[in-house]
């Protein structure tokens, strides 16, 4: 194959037709409150890990729901499971357990 000095850039669109929804489905089944998140960001604002790292819990949840799980393992490793987020959530999402379930799913599906 010929080298032109560049390659065809990969598309970074989220493609919902081919997205890997296994983690999202697993979490929704085992921690149904994951469904009622309204992405308000209260969790992120109070997140201990978020203060010291670039972890964004609100965004992480959204990405999992879209099947964007390539970086989930690295991101979730920043969480200390302190559970402050669960206390802060205005919708009563058990955010701490969502993280636990995401972690379980990542192990289960070897991701």
Partner 1 sequence: MKVEGKQAIWKEYQKDIAGDKYFYVRSCVRQNFFPGSETTFLRIMREELGKDIYEHPCHTTCTGIGYHGDVVPLDTMMTVVARQFALMTEAGYQNLVPSCITSFGIYTEVLDTWHHFPEVEAKVREYLRKATGREFKIPQNLAHASDLIYKFRKEIAQNAKFKLVDKETGKPLKVVDHIGCHYSKMFPEKGVGGAEYPYVLAGMIEDWGGEVIDYPERRHCCGFGFRQYLVQANRGYSVACSHKKFESMEPYKPDMILTNCPGCPMFLDKWQYAIAEMEGKTYGKDGYGIPVLTYEELAGMVLGYDPWDLGLQVHQVSCEPLLDRIGIKYDPLKKYNDKNGVSLGVPEKPSVMKVS
Partner 2 sequence: MSQLYNKLLEDVRFQEGIKACINCGTCTAICAAAEFYNYDPRIIADTVQSRNEEKIENLLKSETIWYCGECMSCKTRCPRGNAPGLIIMALRALSQELGYFVESEKGRQQLFMKRVVGGWILTYGYCLYLEGIGTNMYAEQGPIWDWRQKNWGKVLDRLGANYKGEGNGILRKIPEEALDEIRKIFEVTGGTARFEKIEKFSKEKAEAMNLKFDDGIDNEYFQHIYSHNNNTHNIE
Partner 3 sequence: MKKKRVIVIGGGISGMEAATHLASMGYDVTLLEKDKELGGHLLGWEKLFPTMRMGKDVVEFLNKGITLSKVNVIRKAEIVNAVKTGEIFTVTLANGNKFESDAVIMATGYDLFDARKKEEYGYGIYDNVITSADLEEKFLSGKPILTSKGNVPKKIALVHCVGSRDEKVGNVYCSKVCCVTAVKQSIELKESIPGVDVYCLYMDLRMFGMHFETLYKEAQEKHAVNFIRGRLSEACENQDSSIIVKVEDTLAGKPLRMTVDMLVLMVGMVPSAGTVKVGKMLGLKFGPNGFLKSMDQHTMGTITNIPGVFIAGTCAAPRPINNVFVDARAAAITASSYLEGYDIEKRISYS
Task: Quote the CA–CA distance of 41 and 105 in Å, as a whole number.
Answer: 23
The first and second tokens of residue 30, run together, are 């085992």
Which of partner 2, partner 3, partner 1, none lies near 51, with the C-beta cut-off 5 to 8 A by kind? none
Q: What are the residues whose beta carbons fall under 8 Å from the beta carbon of 78, sequence distance 6 or more? A: 49, 53, 55
Of 59 and 84, CB closest to partner 2: 59
> Using CA atoms, how far apart are residues 111 and 98, in angstroms rounded to an integer?
17
**Judged by CB under 8 A, does residue 2 bind partner 1?**
yes
16 contacts partner 1 (rule: CB under 8 A): no
* Contacts of partner 3 in 36-75 (CB under 8 A): 36-39, 58-59, 62-63, 65-66, 68
Cβ atoms 47, 84 nearer than 8 A: yes
Binding residues with partner 2: total (CB under 8 A): 10
**Is residue 11 a contact residue for partner 2 (CB under 8 A)?**
yes
Please answer whether residues 41 and 58 qualify as being in contact, where contact means their C-beta atoms are separated by less than 8 angstroms: yes
Q: Check binding of 17 to partner 2 (CB under 8 A).
A: no
For residues 109 and 31, the answer to whether their CB atoms sit within 8 Å is no
Residues that bind partner 1 (CB under 8 A): 1-2, 4-11
Residues that bind partner 3 (CB under 8 A): 12-17, 28, 32-33, 35-39, 58-59, 62-63, 65-66, 68, 91
């Amino acid at each position: 194959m010929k080298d032109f000095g560049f390659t065809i850039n990969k598309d970074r669109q989220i493609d919902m037709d081919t997205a890997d929804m296994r983690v999202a489905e697993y979490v929704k089944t085992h921690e149904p409150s994951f469904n009622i998140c309204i992405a308000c960001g209260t969790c992120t604002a109070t997140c201990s890990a978020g203060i010291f790292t670039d972890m964004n819990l609100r965004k992480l949840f959204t990405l999992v729901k879209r099947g964007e799980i390539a970086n989930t393992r690295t991101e979730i490793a920043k969480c200390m499971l302190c559970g402050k987020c669960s206390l802060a959530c205005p919708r009563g999402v058990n955010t701490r357990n969502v993280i636990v379930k995401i972690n379980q799913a990542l192990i289960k599906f070897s991701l």
